[in-house]
């Protein structure tokens, strides 16, 4: 009984001693690996030096093939799976050789002992060898044999700053270890014993000779089939060191910053798509440099999974002159007109518009903000689908003023627009024309949402859940998404690049262009059912270029990308959802026809949501018998008048037609004998120039003047202008009046011939 108890006590003592030693002499820290970013298929996209400036890429357990495992174990430590870190028999044999041999010290190192030495490099002495043995036992207690072999393969030297079998495989054979041939595997197994004397690319002949010697030995040992050995002996060795993989440099750096300390980061990028997107972008921008355009960024999204499959932050990451290391995907820029599809989708859902609703496209003062169309022209009146297809600015601002800026910016915030979320309290009507900040990734995801029937979800860069769709939220309805897509797929539009009208290279996509103020940013974003591709072209310096427009500069690259990356997409297209229906509308207004609407067409609408207001593009008026005057109900005689229909146009549309000399049926003046004085400001003149609360700086040496203009009700014939409450002059309702203002604060008033009045205040200074 005493002997078992004593034995148990000894075991407990040894266990306690081992625990104490392990606690007070912990294992050295884990190796510092080179961060690598993988493509969706597991291949290496981009690799970085580790913090000690070494190429030490982590070899995963799955990459250690049976051939690699058998080769290393047979060559380095054939009893690896049977000892506890130290091989006592090998130590005794080595000690005997050292005592009776030439005096050269050999260590009989096991693979585990080599790992201990590689983790803590020390001078080769007897004392250090004993410490190495203790560390080996400690490693065996903490790690499995597979993990120890993995550590060994991650730390073995290959000369210079290359460590680990994966680094050597990628830098010399451009393959990961699990794709190496038997000859390549044996080559990498023999070099760590002589990393300075056997350098791949410089000593290939000597390495091949040593490789073949080991291959024959492995054949004699029956480690591999004879045919595999014969094939490996015939394989030539013509290798040299290659640059580390460097695709997707911008996203690779972004992911490494987001996941510090992570050795292996899996991305969603498709290697082939990424390489082709980089080549297309680089070559395309080279052709633009003569126009003063030096950079571009591209994003390719899989609509089903929201996975980013190609990410090009700049045309050339290595080009310091064009600031190539800037990331154009994340850069905050003016979005130009690219937000208009969202505006019209929201307006459709609110019942404010339908595709054929006619909008006013005339110079308009929106409480001091007076936008212009890109070409400085106005169409007068235009249906919504044409306004979007032609990217007209004034109708878009008009719809935004109806929808409300807070409603619009709230949707942008819900759609992931971070700068808009920050600046929302300061944003106004100019937001829809690029008066806010947005990034290519935010804008591209907005169009992914259009392709996904209005469902929003964040983009996916890392493939933690490959192929699994993200949770989505409704940004707008599937009906609105389809209607916007239907409009954006039209080919009769001014932003179709020159030469593409009959081109066979025109992909089947819906797309929208945008150009920021000053021609600093050109955008083109397109989508089909499978993919959405966003393109930005410009200069990171912010310098504009006369040639920089979305249609002529960004769209050709968009088309090239679709034709190259998505050429095999299914040839199906978006179908109208069941929530949509058709109805007849009046051609003149796009509203359901009234009794005086002979011309009608078919339009989509959202039942229960779209406005059911009847068309009133004509109004009935009471005319004198000779047709010279119009009567109101207060002054109409009992007899001697007739009823006729006249166009019921907005005052600003009437003013535009008069100013442009466009024909329209003008209403006769009101009965001069009418004693009714019309009050109220609901139909008072709208002063379109000068803009309210604006400072005008005039050159003292030039005879510069300010323009006085207004819009009025169609019954108004004359207006009266006042400067600082002093009468200036009378003018026709649509007449443009110029005057030289005095410096200082001015109150400008306009009264019409019905007694209604409007004021604006401006400031004039002179240089």
Select from 388, 297, 394 the least CA-distant residue to 342.
Answer: 388
- Residue 736 and residue 758: Cα distance in Å, rounded? 17
CB atoms within 10 A of CB 644: 16
Catalytic-residue membership of 430: no
- Of 587, 717, 559, residue with least CA distance to 651: 717
The dihedral sign for the CA sequence 331, 518, 703, 709: negative
Catalytic residue (one of 34, 63, 76, 551): 76
Count of alpha carbons within 13 Å of 272, Cβ hemisphere only?
4
Cα-to-chain-centroid distance, residue 446: 9
Residue 334 backbone dihedrals phi, psi, to 5 degrees: -75, 125
Q: 3-class SS at 360?
A: strand
Peptide bond into 172 cis (omega under 30): no
Tokens of 414: 């819900």
Q: Which of the residues 34, 337, 516, 749 is marked catalytic?
A: 337
Query: Do 417 and 445 touch, CB atoms closer than 8 A?
Result: no
Cβ within 8 Å of residue 422, ≥6 positions away: none
The candidate with the shortest Cα–Cα distance to 37, out of 208, 244, 287, is 244
Give the strand pairing for 726-732 and 695-698: unpaired
Burial of 674 (0-12, 13-18, 19+ CB in 10 A): middle
Distance in angstroms (rounded) separating the CA atoms of residues 267 and 35? 13
**Residue of 587, 573, 584 whose CA lies nearest to 529:** 573
435, 440, 443, 447 alpha-carbon torsion, rounded to 10°? 150
- The DSSP line for 695-764 is EEEE-TTTT--EEEEEE--TT--EEEEEETTEEEEEEETT--EEE-PPSEEEEEEEEETTS-EEEEEEEE
Q: Are strands 295-302 and 618-624 parallel, antiparallel or unpaired?
A: unpaired
Is the distance from CB of 351 to CB of 606 less than 8 angstroms?
A: yes
Q: Any catalytic annotation for residue 76?
A: yes
The tokens 């005319």 sit on which residue? 623
Catalytic residue set:
76, 337
């Amino acid at each position: 009984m005493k002997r078992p108890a004593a034995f148990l006590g000894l075991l407990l003592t040894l266990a306690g001693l081992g625990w104490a030693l392990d606690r007070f002499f912990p294992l050295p820290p884990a190796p510092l690996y080179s961060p690598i970013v993988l493509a969706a298929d597991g291949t290496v996209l981009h690799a970085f030096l580790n913090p000690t400036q070494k190429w030490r890429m982590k070899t995963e357990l799955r990459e250690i093939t049976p051939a690699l495992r058998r080769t290393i174990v047979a060559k380095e430590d054939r009893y690896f799976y049977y000892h506890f870190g130290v091989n006592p028999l090998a130590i005794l044999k080595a000690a005997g050789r050292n005592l009776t041999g030439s005096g050269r010290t050999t260590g009989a190192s096991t693979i585990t002992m080599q790992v201990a030495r590689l983790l803590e490099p020390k001078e080769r002495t007897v004392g250090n060898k004993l410490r190495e043995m203790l560390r080996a036992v400690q490693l065996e207690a903490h790690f499995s044999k597979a993990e120890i072999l993995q550590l060994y393969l991650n730390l073995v030297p290959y000369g210079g700053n290359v460590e680990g079998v994966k680094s050597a495989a990628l830098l010399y054979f451009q393959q990961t270890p699990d794709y190496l041939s038997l000859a390549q595997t044996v080559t990498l197994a023999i070099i760590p014993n002589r990393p300075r004397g056997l350098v791949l690319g410089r000593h290939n002949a000597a390495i091949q000779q040593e490789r073949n010697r080991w291959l024959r030995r492995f054949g004699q040992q029956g480690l591999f089939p004879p045919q595999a050995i014969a094939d490996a002996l015939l394989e030539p060795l013509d290798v040299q060191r290659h640059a580390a993989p460097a695709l997707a440099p911008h996203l690779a750096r972004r992911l490494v910053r987001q996941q510090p300390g992570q050795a292996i980061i899996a991305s969603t990028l498709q290697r082939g798509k990424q390489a082709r997107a980089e080549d297309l972008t680089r070559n395309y921008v080279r052709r633009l440099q003569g126009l003063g355009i030096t950079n571009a960024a591209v994003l390719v999204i899989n609509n089903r999974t929201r996975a980013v499959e190609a990410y090009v932050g700049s045309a050339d990451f290595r080009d310091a002159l064009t600031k190539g290391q800037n990331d154009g995907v994340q850069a905050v820029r003016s979005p130009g007109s690219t937000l208009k599809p969202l505006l019209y989708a929201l307006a459709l859902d609110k019942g404010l518009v339908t595709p054929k609703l006619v909008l006013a496209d005339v110079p308009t003062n929106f409480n001091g903000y007076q936008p212009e169309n890109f070409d400085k022209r106005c169409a007068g009146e235009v249906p919504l689908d044409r306004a979007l297809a032609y990217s007209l600015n004034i109708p878009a601002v008009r719809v935004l003023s109806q929808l409300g800026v807070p409603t619009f910016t709230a949707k942008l915030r819900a759609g992931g627009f971070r700068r808009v979320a920050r600046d929302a309290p300061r944003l106004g009507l100019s937001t829809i024309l690029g008066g806010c900040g947005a990034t290519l990734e935010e804008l591209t995801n907005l169009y992914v949402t259009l392709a996904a029937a209005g469902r929003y979800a964040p983009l996916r860069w890392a493939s933690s859940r490959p192929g699994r769709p993200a949770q989505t939220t409704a940004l707008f309805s599937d009906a609105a998404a389809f209607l916007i897509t239907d409009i954006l797929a039209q080919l009769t539009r001014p932003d179709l690049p020159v030469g593409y009208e009959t081109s066979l290279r025109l992909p089947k996509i819906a797309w929208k262009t945008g150009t920021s103020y000053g021609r600093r940013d050109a955008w083109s974003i397109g989508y089909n059912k499978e993919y959405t591709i966003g393109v930005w072209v410009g200069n990171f310096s912010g310098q504009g270029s006369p040639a920089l427009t979305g249609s002529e500069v960004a769209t050709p690259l968009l088309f090239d990308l679709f034709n190259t990356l998505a050429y095999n997409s299914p040839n199906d297209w978006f179908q109208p959802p069941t929530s949509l229906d058709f109805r007849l509308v009046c051609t003149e207004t796009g509203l359901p026809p009234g009794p005086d609407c002979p011309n009608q067409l078919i339009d989509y609408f959202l039942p229960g949501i779209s406005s059911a207001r009847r068309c009133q593009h004509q109004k009935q008026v009471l005319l004198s018998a000779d047709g010279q005057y119009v009567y109101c109900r207060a002054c109409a005689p009992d007899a001697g008048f007739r009823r006729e229909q006249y166009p019921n146009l907005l005052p600003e549309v009437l003013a535009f037609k008069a100013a442009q000399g466009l024909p329209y049926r003008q209403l006769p003046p009101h009965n001069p004998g009418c004693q009714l004085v019309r009050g109220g400001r609901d139909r008072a003149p709208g002063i379109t120039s000068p803009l309210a609360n604006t400072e005008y700086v005039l050159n003292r040496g030039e005879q510069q003047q300010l323009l006085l203009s207004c819009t009025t009700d169609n019954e108004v014939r004359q207006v009266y202008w006042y400067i600082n409450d002093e009468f200036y002059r009378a003018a026709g309702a649509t007449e443009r009046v110029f005057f030289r203002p005095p410096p200082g604060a001015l109150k400008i008033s306009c009264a019409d011939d019905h007694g209604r009045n409007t004021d604006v205040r401006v400031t004039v200074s002179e240089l």
